[in-house]
Amino acid sequence: MKLSYRVQIGSEVFESSSMCIVGIRIVRSMDVPAGSCEILFNINNKTSKISEGVEILVQLGYSEELKDVFNGFVNNIENEIARVRVLGLDSASKLLTTRVNQVYEGQTAGQIVSDLAGKASVPVEEAADGIRFPQYTVDDGKNVYEHMRDLADKCGFDLYMNT
């Protein structure tokens, strides 16, 4: 079996056969709220078309059996002498940069988490109800992720991202 990859950044596609990519590193952890990727390219015509903010999809596997391992956006591009380093973040990173001031009345922890995720434009696959709060206040002293973590702790739940 041969290791293979497919990386799509915006409209540009890089496959194993092209030999454009020097290295791919994907970082994910239950302890780190957002996933990241780092892709090191040899400079070529396609790499000059990569821009910040465009979507990244990384697929890894063997031969033709590829699996999605990262989906996010280009956060930073570093040009080196003969290479280009592209740094990407997944959508969960938006939870770390979004701050909200809101009062919730008569809602469950799951409803609050879903609303907070929506304010950060992050889709929620599942949010268990947990405790119903007569009133729960969210302020911009913490980011949305920190408020979600607090709610999960109050309910005895784990908080994890599957982006």
How is the chain split into domains, by residue range?
3-90, 95-155
CATH architecture, domain defined by 3-90: Roll (2.30)
Structure tokens at 23: 């290295």
CA separation for the pair 75, 86 (Å, rounded): 8
Please list the pLDDT of the chain residue by residue as tens digits (163 residues).
788 999 999 999 999 888 889 999 999 887 778 899 999 999 988 888 899 999 999 999 998 899 999 999 999 999 989 999 999 999 889 999 999 999 999 999 999 999 999 999 998 888 899 999 999 999 999 999 999 999 999 999 988 877 6
CA separation for the pair 30, 39 (Å, rounded): 22
Closest alpha carbon to 147 in 117, 106, 105: 117
Query: What does pTM read for this prediction?
Result: 0.79
Structure tokens at 134: 């007569």
CA–CA–CA angle 34, 121, 158 (5° rounding):
45
